[in-house]
């Protein structure tokens, strides 16, 4: 089990997580508690999912979230399970609203996760200082959700994509047209402010 987790072998980890002897397998991690092992395994799975797309950014699928939710459930980690469950529900709702509930694209999953993260961040920022219990709950939820968030492109990476794929539209210097064209490619993969700044720089 420890070998599989450290290597990030997704198929092997999934096979272990899908067995009915989950506690025994997790106990095999030795110094870890069941809860800690569940978190460790989930992070290992996420690390193994880094794809060589747009600089090797993390691409998440609905099934990935569901697997992580089941792992947290088996580990009896209710706060973690509830946080991931909120992401699963939000992704499913987005899929239904977009008419693709049976085949939700990865970029939509990423966009939903980022939206949920932003919502929780706002809860943290607006939470009264006297409500330490709520603040701790919001921060814990944010930390869990952050594990599944896509790694956003840097300004340099955005610039590279724009200059290599959108040279023709960049040549127009029409900022509005450029933003409309490139957002389909970069939405959910880069921060909107970063995209706007790079476009402004390239259209000087």
27-36 confidence digits (pLDDT tens): 555 555 656 6
Q: DSSP assignment of the chain, as one string?
A: -HHHHHHT-HHHHHHHHTSTTHHHHHHTTTTS-HHHHHHHHHHHHHHHTB-SSTTT-B---HHHHHHHHHHHHHTT-HHHHHHHHHHHHHHHHHHHHTT-TTS--HHHHHHHHHHHHHHHHHHHHHS-TT-HHHHHHHHHHHHHHHTTS--PPPHHHHHHHHHHH-HHHHTT--HHHHHHHHHHHHBTTB-HHHHHHHHHHHT-
For 155-202, CATH number out of 1.10.3470, 1.10.760, 1.10.10, 1.10.287 equals 1.10.10
pLDDT at 204 over 60: yes
74-88 confidence digits (pLDDT tens): 999 999 999 999 999
Domain boundaries, the chain: 2-146, 155-202
pTM: 0.59
CATH number of 2-146: 1.10.1510.10
């Amino acid at each position: 089990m420890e070998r599989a987790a450290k290597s990030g072998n997704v198929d092997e980890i999934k096979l272990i997580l899908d067995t009915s002897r989950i506690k025994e397998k997790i106990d095999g991690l030795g110094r870890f508690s069941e809860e800690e092992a569940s978190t460790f395994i989930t992070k290992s799975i996420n690390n193994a999912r880094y794809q060589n797309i747009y600089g090797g950014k993390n691409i998440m699928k609905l099934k990935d979230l569901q697997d992580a939710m089941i792992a947290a459930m088996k580990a009896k980690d209710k706060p973690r399970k509830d946080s991931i469950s909120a992401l699963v529900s939000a992704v499913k709702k987005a899929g239904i609203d977009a008419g693709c509930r049976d085949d939700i694209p990865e970029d939509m999953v990423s966009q939903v996760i980022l939206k949920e993260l932003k919502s929780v961040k706002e809860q943290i920022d607006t939470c009264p200082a006297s409500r330490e219990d709520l603040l701790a709950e919001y921060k814990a939820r944010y930390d869990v959700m952050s594990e599944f968030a896509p790694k956003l492109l840097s300004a340099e990476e955005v610039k590279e994509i724009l200059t290599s794929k959108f040279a023709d539209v960049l040549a127009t210097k029409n900022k509005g047209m450029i933003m409309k064209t490139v957002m389909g490619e970069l939405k959910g993969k880069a921060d909107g402010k970063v995209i706007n700044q790079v476009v402004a720089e390239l259209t000087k």
